[in-house]
Amino acid sequence: MMNKIIHTEKAPAAVGPYSQAVESNGMLFISGQIPLNPKTGKIVEGGIVEQTEQVMQNIEAILTEAGYKFTDVIKSTCLLSDMENFGAMNEVYGKYYSSNPPARAAFAVKSLPLGVMVEIETIAVKA
């Protein structure tokens, strides 16, 4: 069994000893994505709506690079800096999973890298 490292310039580069994603046995494990704009390397301006949108675009870029789609996603974990942002995050997130959404956990953590409001990790499987 070979693990395939997935990398795309259309999503933020890993800033530590991890990969953007790893594919193994028809499963894609995407590292937690934060709202970094891959073109500027900076956190996207705005609030939770803009940050969640950037996170979902980063996830989409990695899914596409690996040959997957949002319909292949089976599990998401959403980390929030404040549960007060859950509703707005959920609204943006829901646009990407309009039918048959994946299983999901969402919870607040003490803090996230670079002081961002949201981080989402994703697991996809080719049916």
Domain that holds residue 26: 4-125
Rounded Cα–Cα distance for residues 60 and 40 (Å):
18
Given a cut of 90, whether residue 39 has pLDDT beyond it is yes
* DSSP annotation of 12: P
pLDDT in tens, 70-126: 999 999 999 999 999 999 999 999 999 999 999 999 999 999 999 999 999 999 999
Instruction: Over range 39-54, report the average pLDDT.
Output: 96
Domain with 50 in it: what CATH number?
3.30.1330.40
| Residue 5: exposure state from Cβ atoms within 10 A (0-12, 13-18, ≥19) | exposed
> What's residue 2's pLDDT?
86
Number of domains in the chain: 1
Sorted by sequence, the CB contacts under 8 Å of residue 4 that are 6+ apart come out as 22, 23, 24
